[in-house]
């Protein structure tokens, strides 16, 4: 995809810092533990090593999450995320689903990019019984016709993203 006249959106600030922030708190606790601990001197280094590990893990998580981006260009839209990349031309965008916690671009035709196949394979993933996608979204992902933009909902509601999408897509202008 040509990158002339492109706009890049990163995930919303709360999502960006939530996971790394948790690990930073754990790291701070681990690094402070030896100074308040009454444990024998031989075992006081263990929390320090764990603290350093959690600091490094927080940095890696931040970099992974910071890499997530939604790019809008004259040619189309591209979602770059850890594990996959989805992209399509503007004429393939059918409509914007802006339901809370389910924000997505729905497409006319399936995407042919390898990222669409990767996302389709992982569409039923859940954590502790909580699914990432609704039944309707799972069906669209199976058809490779959905670009999830929930991670960018902050920019959709409070920023320029909605206007940028509408200005670039004829289908979104007519809605």
> Is-contact 125 76, C-beta < 8 A?
no
User: Mean pLDDT of all residues in the chain?
Assistant: 89
Domain ranges of the chain: 12-66, 69-173
> Is-contact 140 94, C-beta < 8 A?
no
> Is-contact 80 69, C-beta < 8 A?
yes
Whole-model pTM?
A: 0.81
Model confidence pLDDT, tens digit, residues 116-125: 999 998 888 8
Asked if residue 175 has pLDDT above 70, the reply is no
For residue 4, the model assigns a pLDDT of 57
Tell me the pLDDT band of 43, cut-offs 50, 70 and 90: confident
Dihedral angle, C-alpha 100, 105, 111, 117, nearest 10 °? -10
Tokens 């770059």 correspond to what residue? 80
């Amino acid at each position: 995809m040509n990158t002339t006249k492109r706009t890049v959106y990163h995930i919303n600030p709360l999502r960006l810092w939530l996971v790394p922030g948790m690990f930073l708190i754990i790291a701070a606790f681990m690094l402070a533990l030896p100074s308040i601990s009454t444990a024998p001197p031989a075992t006081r280094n263990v929390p320090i090593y764990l603290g350093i590990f959690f600091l490094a893990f927080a940095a890696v998580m931040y970099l992974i999450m910071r890499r997530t981006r939604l790019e809008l260009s004259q040619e189309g839209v591209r979602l770059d995320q850890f594990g996959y990349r989805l992209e399509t031309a503007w004429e393939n965008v059918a409509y914007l689903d802006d339901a809370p916690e389910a924000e997505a671009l729905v497409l006319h035709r399936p995407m042919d990019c390898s990222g669409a196949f990767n996302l389709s394979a992982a569409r039923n993933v859940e954590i502790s019984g909580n699914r990432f996608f609704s039944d309707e979204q799972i069906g669209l992902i199976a058809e490779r016709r959905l670009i999830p933009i929930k991670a960018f909902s902050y920019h959709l509601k409070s920023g320029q993203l909605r206007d940028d999408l509408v200005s670039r897509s004829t289908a979104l202008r007519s809605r």
